[in-house]
A and B are shown apart, each in its own frame.
Chain A
Amino acid sequence: MLRLFFHTQLQLGLAQATVSALAALTVVLLAHRRQIHLEAETLIAMARGLVQIIAVGSILVVLLRAPRWTSAFLLAGMIMAAGATSARRAKGIPDAFRVSAWSIAFGAGSLIALMTFLGVIDTAITSLVPVGSMLIANAMNTNGLALNRFRSDVLAHVGEIETALALGAEARNSVSPYVQASFEASLIPAIDSLRSLGIVWIPGLMAGMLLSGARPVYAAIYQFVVLAMIFAASGLTSLASTMLIRGRVFSPAEQLLLQPGRS
């Protein structure tokens, strides 16, 4: 229907963005009516996302002509930004940014490097940056989920953790059940994506490959390859971040720093 009113691609794009943003804002409104306040966070995230993707779209032309080594800097910048974004889910935990950035660099960064070396990801900037960004973005989401779950679980079980400490448990061991639960919970989206591939959703990458002339079977297999890499990057990231963060909630004298009301 929008095509009847908007005739240039830019106008149509803006109209489509407006309609989809309205759908997202409806959720915010419904949440507001249930006393759940997502307004500021959602509006800022949407505005940022739009500006960022337009900026990337605008420099894509330059990127396509840039030398291959520039992808390493772009991906490193994405890892830093992903670390900063997901660290916000660990409010009150010291060093959350450093833990997030290192974990994403370990999980997504090392996998991108390995897969590029093995030839699973093409070294062309047009392939490496989009596929790499998918791995980093998913690692970021997984990391955010893991940290958020860990933080909530620790805050909900302060009594149990301090009881274990009072009985002489090593600090890191006293939060082990919550490390494990956070790791498992953070991987649910990646596992479900892999499980429902082709049945519940046909990802955009496959559609793009088909449109650009790839053979359907290869496009399908490569989609599986990407999702398997996403799972691996997410899993490694979550494993690293949950292992690193568990020591950060304690002082050197093994006192629990994360306490309700303090964070």
Chain B
Amino acid sequence: MAIVGPSGSGKSSLLRLLNRLDEPTSGTVFVEGTDFRNLEPRELRRKLGMVTQRPYLFPGTVAENLQFGPAQRGETLAGEAIEELLSQVGLKDYGGRNVANLSGGEAQRVSVARTLANSPLVLLLDEPTSALDEAAKLEVESSIQKVVHDHGLTCVMVTHDLAQASRLAEKALLLEAGRIVRAGLIGEVLHA
């Protein structure tokens, strides 16, 4: 699902509310039928994995970044699992590379793989390609399509790029001034 709308309409705020990085001033969010206030914030954030506009990779290697999420729960991500995740985002054999040497598109794909390492139920993408050039944008889009398909994930993506929304999403929400003004299939929302 794509969330579209003009700047300041509340697209990123909605994503932050879903991930509970911000608290709603009224109302709540239900995750699998449970009020998210009754869930541990850390468990909620694991279930609703988020990829931000900038990758914010932690200093170290690509593999260390992928191990970050599981390590927070005292789990270790096996080498094969790291390789599998990196293959899914088109970065096979990148595990030992230092993140300082990655291009913008590669870093964003590592960010997607890092979020997937937490085995989320839903993937939240906050303008994941807005800081990338055209070629890198298409690479990241392709990786997103593949992982969403392979993992059978629900994906909610904020984008200001309507062409990208058409390419990637089946459904869309149009926001204006913090309110949903249209919702439905992507074609209906974008071309109404």
Contact = CB atoms under 8 A, between A and B. Distances in A.
Interface of A: 159-160, 162-170, 173, 251, 253-256
A168 B58 contact: no
A256 B21 contact: yes
**Most B-side CB within 10 Å, residue of A160, A166, A254:** A166
Interface of B: 19-23, 37, 41-43, 45-46, 49-50, 52, 54, 56, 58, 68-69, 72-73, 114-115, 118
Given A253-B23, A255-B23, A166 B49 contact: yes
A159 B52 contact: yes
B22 to A, nearest CB: 6
A36 to B, nearest CB: 30
A254 B42 contact: yes
Contacts of B56: 159-160, 163
Contacts of B58: 160, 164
B72 A169 contact: yes
A159 B43 CA distance: 20
Given A165-B21, A165-B41, A255-B20, 6 more contacts: A160-B58, A163-B56, A165-B45, A167-B72, A169-B42, A256-B21
A163 B124 CA distance: 12
Contact of B45 (A160, A166, A173): A166
Contacts of A166: 19, 21, 45, 49-50, 52, 115
A21 to B, nearest CB: 46
B69 A168 contact: yes
Contacts of B115: 166-167
Contact of A168 (B21, B37, B118): B118
B46 A168 contact: yes
Contacts of A169: 42, 68, 72
A160 to B, nearest CB: 5
Nearest to B72: A168
A17 to B, nearest CB: 50
Contacts of B50: 166
A155 to B, nearest CB: 15
Nearest to A174: B72
A255 B52 contact: no
Nearest to B69: A167
Q: In this complex, which of B37, B43, B68 has the most chain A Cβ atoms within 10 angstroms of its Cβ?
A: B68
Nearest to A253: B41
